[in-house]
Amino acid sequence: MPRKRFYTVKEAAQALGLAESTIRRAIARGVLPARKIGARLNIIAPDDVERYRQERLGNQGWVWRRAPDYQPSRMAVWARNYRTRRKKE
């Protein structure tokens, strides 16, 4: 029976086209499951990398903004109004 090939954080980042720090944050938040090997090495199953690609990539932030009950933050409203005023000048 062949063994599964696991990804390191660096390899997963390259496969997903993301920065290593993004992968480490996803692991810390629990969004991307990983196994800790030793003090500094995390390994990630290929199935988890593919699941992360399908569920997360291309959706950052936009999923919530498309929801019918979405209300932008006060800062987002202020920034939009500020940009509109600046364009008029």
**36-70 per-residue burial string, b: 16 or more CB within 10 A, e: under 16:** eeeeeebebbeebbeebeeeeeeeeeeeeeeeeee
At residue 2, does pLDDT exceed 80?
A: no
Give the count of domains, the chain. Answer: 1
Domain that holds residue 36: 7-63
Instruction: Quick: pLDDT tens for 18-45.
Output: 999 999 999 999 999 999 998 889 999 9
Task: Tell me what the mean pLDDT of segment 57-61 comes to.
Answer: 68
CA dist., res. 30 & res. 87, Å (int): 41
Query: What pTM, to 2 d.p., does this model score?
Result: 0.63
**pLDDT on residue 59:** 67
Which CATH number covers residue 47? Answer: 1.10.1660
Strand runs (DSSP E) across 1-89, as ranges? Answer: 7-8, 35-37, 41-44
CA dist., res. 22 & res. 16, Å (int): 10
Q: Is residue 53 part of a domain?
A: yes
Q: Is residue 77 part of a domain?
A: no
